Structures are given as C-alpha cells and as structure tokens.
Amino acid sequence: MIHIASKRELSMLQENLLRLAAVAIALLASALIMLIMGYNPLDIYAKIISGSLGTAYRFRETVNKAIPLTVLSLGTAVAFRMRFWNIGAEGQFYLGAYGASLIAFGFPDLPAFVLLPLMFIAGFIFGGLWALIPGLLRAKFSASETLVTLMLNYVAVKWISYLQYGPWKDPAASGFPKIASFSKNAVLPSLFGIHIGWVITLVLAVLMFILLKKSKLGYEIDVLGESEATARYAGMNVSRIMLTAILISGGLCGIAGMMQASAIEQSLSDQLSGGLGFTAVITTWLARLSPPVTVVVSFLFSMLIQGGNFLQSSLKIPSSMAQILQGIIIFFVLGSEFFIRHKFVWIPVRKSAKGDAA
C-alpha cells in the first residue's frame, strides 16, 4: 500500500532547487503540448523572449505590465502571510483607481506635485477600505474572506462600468462609452522612457520587506498566520493586527490601480486591469510571499503576458498559448510544494496464514 508521509525538513537551497526543477519540467511538458499542436516549442520560447524584451518598446510594455502586477502581488502577500485569503485584489485595484479619479476630476488644476500625492493617498484609502469590508465580516461574523473578496471584485468592476456608461460618460466622446481623460497634472511623469511607477514599485518592495521582516507588525502578522490562539496567548490584539494588515493589503492594491489609471489609461475604465488582480494571486504564491522574489516573479509573468500578445501578432498563434504555459508552470510548482513537505511510502501488505491481507 502507498501512504503519504511527512518528509524531513529540507534546506532553503534544496527547496529552491526542487522548485527550479519543477519549472524546468513544466517547460518540457509545455514543449510536448506545443509539438502535439504542430508548433516548434523552441521558436515559441524564442518569440516570447523577443516579444517581451527584443526592442525598447517591447521592454517598456513588459515593465508597464510588471508595475501593477508587482504592487498587487505585494498587497496580496501581506494578507496571505496571516492566512487571510484576499482574492479581491482586482476589486481593490478598481476602487483605488476610482478614488484617484475622484481627486483627478475634482481638482484638475492643482499642480502635479500636490495632485499626484493626493491621488496616491485616495487610491490607498479607497483600496484599503474596500478590503476592510471582508476583514470586518470575518472578524465579527467569521465570514469566509475568500468568497467575500471574490464577490466584491464583480461589484467593483460593475460600479466602474455604471460610471463609464452613465454619470461619468464623456459627452465629447460621440456616444462612445468612455470617461473623460485626466488633466496633464494628474498623469505620472516618465523616467528613462517608462512612467515613474517603476521607481515607486521598487521603493514599495523595499518598504514591504522592512515591514514584514524587520518590524513588530510584520512579526505579529507572521505569528497570527501561524496560530491565532498563539497570538492571543501572547497578548496580541488580533483584531487590530488583522484589520491593519488588511488595510495595508487593500491599500497597496489601490495604489496599483491609481498608477495604472494615471500613467497608462490616463482615465478610468472597466478594462483597466486586464485581469492582473487575479494573476497577482498566482505570482504571490509562486514568490512564497517574499517581496524581493515577488519583483522577479512578477516581471517574468509580465514577460509571458507581453510575449503572448506578440505571438498572436507575429506567428498568428493564439495568445492563449502563453496562458497555457502559465497554467502548466503553476501546476508543476504547486506540485513541487507537496513533494517538499511530503513523500510517498510503500508499505508491504502482509498476508495471514489463511491468505487474507493483514
């Protein structure tokens, strides 16, 4: 009989080597699928790299996708570290963009050095408050944060759609359902050809590393994630820690929405995220909730997204090929997590004198 048994604890190097092996096997499995579909896997892999890094424009587009994905992943990681399964990054992203848009449209003539910080603050507050709804429901009624955060995503997107097709519809758009553009003062400036959000993202990654690894709050979040009973026994204010962490989590997702609305869309739209809020759940898990690793993983996934778009235009291959590759990588990496902690053990079946299995 085959039983599942716990494995002795592996070193960090052994764990990382196992995860790298899982990625390598995923690439081989993807190559096999491509061959079955009649494509040359080496050509597709080369096109994905070329399509995401091959020119200055493609690299810029990859970074533009990596910026919101990284910040969304950083926000999601804060909640995940205390076992609060925040699947609502998408909704918090849109509410952050909405809060920033309120400031942008309400005070369009303010100088940029005043207007942009106000938009950041509004994005953080609106995203954080949207995340606090499931946090309060869990704290008061033990409601499932997974279901509540997931459902609130659709509420947020529908709210933006209502504004886009209704009260905020631009009368100058000739009937097209579009919200007016921001003033120039509300648009993030560029640095080295890419909007300055990439600098903000790196700063946020450093700050989150310090918060989670070096601060009292980070320690409390980790303890709460390991055991709520232990946190209470140690005299920690569980409700305060949980709500503070959730506010930070949603606030970061809201900042991502603000930067996307300001720098890329320069307006508000119900197509603003392109599903990056859901992708952030994947990148957060693959990065093992580590801010520095999150930056790398988010950039690699952005390469897959941008490279997939390039496949469609250059080789007439559906961009879903890159999504298949993402799914296979996730499947194998998650599988590697099982083998890091467990192993299969073969236990022989003994037979009694009468021939029955014992």
Beta strands, E only, the chain: 2-6, 190-191, 194-195, 342-346
Per-residue model confidence as pLDDT tens digits over 44-92: 888 889 989 999 999 999 999 999 999 999 999 999 999 999 999 999 9
Single pTM value for the model = 0.90
- Is pLDDT above 80 for 29? yes
Q: How far apart are CA 336 and CA 342, in angstroms?
A: 10
Res. 282 pLDDT band, cuts 50 70 90 = confident
Assigned token pair, 344: 């299969």
Q: Which residues contact 131 (CB under 8 A, 6 or more apart)?
A: 79, 86, 88, 92, 149, 246, 247, 249, 250, 251, 253
User: Residue 152 class from Cβ within 10 Å (0-12 exposed, 13-18 middle, 19+ buried)?
Assistant: buried
Q: Judge contact between 276 and 69, C-beta under 8 A.
A: yes
- Is pLDDT above 60 for 321? yes
Determine how β-strand 2-6 pairs with β-strand 194-195: unpaired
pLDDT (0 to 100) of residue 20: 83
pLDDT (0 to 100) of residue 335: 79
Res. 353 pLDDT band, cuts 50 70 90 = low
Count of Cβ atoms closer than 10 Å to residue 174 Cβ: 7
Q: How far apart are CA 95 and CA 41, in angstroms?
A: 40
Pick the range with the lowest mean pLDDT from 16-25, 125-134, 217-226, 250-259.
16-25
pLDDT (0 to 100) of residue 149: 95
pLDDT (0 to 100) of residue 319: 65
pLDDT (0 to 100) of residue 216: 94
3-state helix, strand, coil in the chain (%, to 5): 70, 5, 25
pLDDT (0 to 100) of residue 142: 86
Assigned token pair, 29: 């499995």
Beta strands, E only, 70-228: 190-191, 194-195
